[in-house]
Amino acid sequence: MVILLALYSFGGLVLAGLSVPLILHKIPPNGLYGFRVRSTLENPALWYKINAYAGWRFLVVGLGTAIGVIILYFSIQSDFEFYALSCLGLFLALFLWGIITSFLFLRSIQGKSA
């Protein structure tokens, strides 16, 4: 269980760290890193706005995952399989929340500019 704790904690902190440059508008439109959909790649103003929004979401996802797996580790001490599935479920729930709310925000700001 310690290995899963380390992997999910480290992964969450890496995700949180990668979100900071997006929040700070430091990453220009590119094909590798950021909230990459056609409309954001074609419009730099939209790129920075949606990536800052998504960056905040994924900062929460990363920190929430890191903190959540630590809490789960001390709550579920004896059942490895349950701990593994709980960590995965936590990450997936947070990640889907980040993706869905970011797409909803993108749709809302595109609707205002249309």
Give the pLDDT of residue 112: 74
SS3 content of the chain, % helix, strand, coil (to 5): 80, 0, 20
pLDDT of residue 77: 82
User: Which parts of the chain have pLDDT scores under 50?
Assistant: 114
Tokens (6 digits) for 58: 């994924």
Contact call for residues 46 and 111 (beta carbons, < 8 A)? no
C-alpha–C-alpha distance, residues 49 and 110, integer Å: 11
Residue extents of the structural domains in the chain:
2-113
